[in-house]
Amino acid sequence: MARINDEFMRQRITRRRLLQGAGGTALGAAAIATVGCGGGGSSGGARTPGSTAPAEGTPKLGGILKQRQQVGYPNFNPFGPGIGALVQGLFVGFALYDHLFYVPTDTGEVIPFLGTEFEIAEDGRDVTVTMGEAVFWDKPPVNGRDVRASDVVASYERFKEQIPLGFSWLQEVLDSIEARDERTVVFRQNRPWAWFFTASNAGSPISSSIIPQEIVGDDDALDSDPIGSGKWMLAGHDSGQNVKLRKFPNWREPGRPYLEGVDYLYAPDNTLAQSAFSAKDIDTITGLNSRELEDLESRFGDEIVTSGDLQRDYRCLMLKNEPPFDDPEVRRGINLALNRDEIRQVLNLGDGELAGPLPPAHTAFVLDEDDPDLQEYFRFDPAESRQVLEAAGFPFDQEITLKYSNFSDAPDLAEAVAQQLRVVGINVKLPGAEDIISWLSNTLGPGDFQMTSFTHLAYEDPSLPLSFYVPPNFMGYDDPEVTAAFEKAAATLDMAERVEATKDAQRVIIQKMSPMLNLYSAVNYSARWDYLKGVITGRGSFGLFNSGAWLDK
């Protein structure tokens, strides 16, 4: 068995080394909700990204961090029911349960948590993870016992059987998972899968949550009385709202977290949350636009620390691969008619980055800004658009329907896209917003559309956004070259080579003008009071890296 030939793995990083090095800073710093990362030149005001906490003095122990809770959790069960798995699974995955490792998208670096060493077989299939020492919370029936490899196995097996969100790696690539001994877990994949370290988390720490064997099959316990080995213990809540977390004194990192606890205060309304932040009823605020941020900065000046976070979700226009959109030249004409900058301005005050086939938050894998293919993808030229469409015989007299849902700003997005397409003479019909459930089940799911515009979910694994161009997909699109490029990237274990393979796949998608035309990802802003220290900004840090946050008051 050889070491994994990934860039990270070549460094043979163990947790000890990580704690001594830059990664240690990342682990030691915190970002509970104040995740932040700006981007490149087209970000329209995004702040400088950073992943390292500045020196802020000696941490003080204790104190309760107060944060906003925007939605109530139906329960605390990562297995659902249903879509609830996503809602509460993210929360418990970040806050209550531990993981073997995690890959923040801003760095793409594998951060060991309970896992200390990782080996991958030469054929790229088996991955062996050696675990460090940790204990569960001291509650019956687990009673503070050691975390074992068999707990990891039991957790993954239930996720593999039950998670309802279509995490394809679990169902299609993972053959089995076994405990070689109490400290060693072996993942057996049916083919080499280069995205293992992100896919095995299903793109987020839901399905990698380590749950004790005693309760992993007990939904009653998971619903209301979870037991984990994470840094925070569930101390109370009002039916899933106003969640209170308290420090787990025996967490695997002695002395951490510095805070005594985190109180989440339920505030569904954005305006209410901003007023609560101004009154210091909560210590952080996220999801601000640039005007709201400027307002806070003008009122509180140096009392607050702000950052910009390039979102991982992205807006797109999807075309059905049927006449007239089965012609790549027609799709090219449509693409030339799209003024992405204008749409970004209308919907997000200009804050965001244009999205190629891969959303820009996947920084390590996206095409360079000056890449000729990407520049061509972003080019806006309505006159040329008209010429291309005319040359391709586009039926300008035919009414083309653009379907959309009523979810969030989807109607605004559809209206903006329709207006731009009308400029070049396309007869776009907006049939009215569909209920989101109806749109999912009747329009997107079965591919019953000519055009549809929407915002994709946030995907941490670059393979997920690219997989939409590979059959089966909503567009009915099947191009062997695109599929081959996608599969080549997935099978390339070496990180540097995989980055190149991923970029090649994006170039193929652009050259083929595949029928999902991505538009942009937005930037949202965050602020925190300056007495909250030890915070790092950086996408992907979420609640997993919050052990070094402390309150200087």
CB nearer to another protein: pick between 223 and 342: 223
Q: Are 267 and 148 in contact (CB under 8 A)?
A: no
Using CB under 8 A as the binding rule, whether residue 387 contacts another protein is answered as: no
The least CB distance from residue 446 to another protein, in Å, is: 11
CB 207 within 8 A of CB 201: yes
Q: By C-beta, is 380 or 407 nearer to another protein?
A: 407
Residue of 105, 107, 198, 274 interacting with another protein (CB under 8 A)? 274
Alpha carbons 501 and 499: distance in angstroms, whole number: 5
Residue 265 or residue 392: which is nearer to another protein going by CB?
265
Q: Which of 193, 198, 148, 151 is nearest to 174 (CA)?
A: 193
CB of 104 to another protein, least distance (A): 25
Query: Under a CB-based contact definition with an 8 Å cutoff, are residues 72 and 240 in contact?
Result: yes
Q: Which is nearer to another protein, 260 or 500 (CB)?
A: 260
The C-alpha angle with vertex 261 and arms to 259 and 267, in degrees rounded to 5, equals 125
Binding flag, residue 140, another protein (CB under 8 A): no
Measure the CA–CA gap between 545 and 496, rounded to whole angstroms.
Answer: 26
Residue 80, interface with another protein (CB under 8 A)? Answer: yes
Site for another protein in 412-441 (CB under 8 A): 434-435, 437-438, 440-441
Contact partners, residue 14, CB within 8 Å, separation at least 6? 112, 116, 117
Task: Tell me whether residue 45 or residue 72 sits nearer to another protein (CB atom).
Answer: 72
* Nearest residue (CB) to another protein, 75 versus 348: 75
Q: Which is nearer to another protein, 11 or 278 (CB)?
A: 278
Q: Among positive and negative, which fits the CA dihedral 293, 297, 303, 308? A: positive
Structure tokens at 15: 């947790």
Distance CA 467, CA 470 (A): 5
Q: Phi first, then psi: what are they for 242, rounded to 5°?
A: 50, 55
Which of 41, 255, 271, 370 forms a contact with another protein (CB under 8 A)? 271
Q: Which stretch binds another protein (CB under 8 A): 253-261, 264-272, 343-351, 518-526?
A: 264-272
CA nearest neighbour of 510 among 320, 322, 377, 359: 377
Question: Shortest approach of another protein to residue 164 CB, angstroms?
Answer: 6
Q: Are strands 427-429 and 399-403 parallel, antiparallel or unpaired?
A: parallel
Among 174, 185, 267, 466, binds another protein (CB under 8 A): 267
Q: Segment near another protein (CB under 8 A), from 144-152, 234-242, 357-365, 518-526?
A: 234-242
Which one of 120-128, 254-262, 266-274, 409-417 is the stretch in contact with another protein (CB under 8 A)? 266-274
CA distance 156 to 397: 54
Asked if 383 is part of the footprint of another protein (rule: CB under 8 A), the reply reads: no
d(CA 163, CA 206): 9
Residue 328 interacts with another protein (CB under 8 A): yes or no:
no
Q: How many helices (H) and strands (E) does the chain have?
A: 20, 20
**The one segment of 207-215, 275-283, 389-397, 419-427 that binds another protein by CB under 8 A:** 275-283
- What minimum distance in Å lies between the beta carbon of 80 and another protein? 7
Query: Which residue carries 């509970």 as its tokens?
Result: 32
313 phi and psi angles, rounded to 5 deg? -80, 165
User: Is there binding between residue 269 and another protein (CB under 8 A)?
Assistant: yes
CA distance 194 to 505: 15
Residues in region 37-56 near another protein by CB under 8 A: none
Residue 178 buriedness (CB in 10 A; 0-12 / 13-18 / 19+): middle
Candidates 35, 282, 414, 458: give the one binding another protein (CB under 8 A).
282
Task: Report if residue 64 touches another protein, rule: CB under 8 A.
Answer: no
Binding positions for another protein, rule: CB under 8 A: 68, 72-75, 77, 80-84, 86, 164-166, 219, 223, 238-242, 263, 265-269, 271-276, 278-279, 281-282, 299, 434-435, 437-438, 440-442, 444-445
